[in-house]
Chain A
Amino acid sequence: EADIYQTPRYLVIGTGKKITLECSQTMGHDKMYWYQQDPGMELHLIHYSYGVNSTEKGDLSSESTVSRIRTEHFPLTLESARPSHTSQYLCASSEHSIPGVSNTEAFFGQGTRLTVV
């Protein structure tokens, strides 16, 4: 069973508010990821991290920001939420891989469903 946790599970907020979505994992994984998924749509990678103090933007442009100060924690922040940010946000982590060897699977949290009104 994967030990990766996201809070809150559901969030309804007003436009213009600043929010932080929390993601923590207890598996000691180096790599962590944030995906955005609209209902019935594919997962889009918006941020990822290879380790502490390493963050990269994903393939889908996002107005959110992330930080990785501790291995186990990878929060995502929206400085000023808008209705277009309404979506499900999924956090994932995977184990550090040896170069030249295949990756391991990614483990997902339960997601945060965000609604901006």
Chain B
Amino acid sequence: EDKVVQSPLSLVVHEGDTVTLNCSYEVTNFRSLLWYKQEKKAPTFLFMLTSSGIEKKSGRLSSILDKKELFSILNITATQTGDSAIYLCAHTSGTYKYIFGTGTRLKVLA
């Protein structure tokens, strides 16, 4: 059964801290792994990863995929209160469905 497991479920840090969010997955016919940020309503896209070992970076956020060990991490450096959100990990397979994990709820305190 295809699934995505994220850890930790929730995290509270102070501004300026660095956080690492984890995502492990099981999927038949893997195509891609995606990270989203959900603040109020709609999840917004952060990264899509398809190849192992290639880091994707956007500002203070970065992510990398390990297809051998079936996991991905999302790093956020120098966190700000605006980073407070739920971070969702999802994978896609040959069926083109996006299967999401439970998310990590991040709260950044001023």
Contact = CB atoms under 8 A, between A and B. Distances in A.
Interface of A: 2, 31, 33, 35, 40-43, 45, 48, 50, 58-59, 88, 90, 92, 94, 97, 102-111
B98 to A, nearest CB: 5
Interface in B14-73: 31-32, 34, 41-45, 48, 50
Interface size class of B (residues with CB under 8 A): 20 to 34
A110 B102 contact: no
A92 B96 contact: no
* Interface majority SS (helix, strand, loop, mixed), chain A: loop
A67 to B, nearest CB: 19
A89 to B, nearest CB: 11
A31 B44 CA distance: 18
Interface of B: 31-32, 34, 41-45, 48, 50, 88, 90, 92, 96-103, 105
B42 A109 contact: yes
Nearest to B46: A105
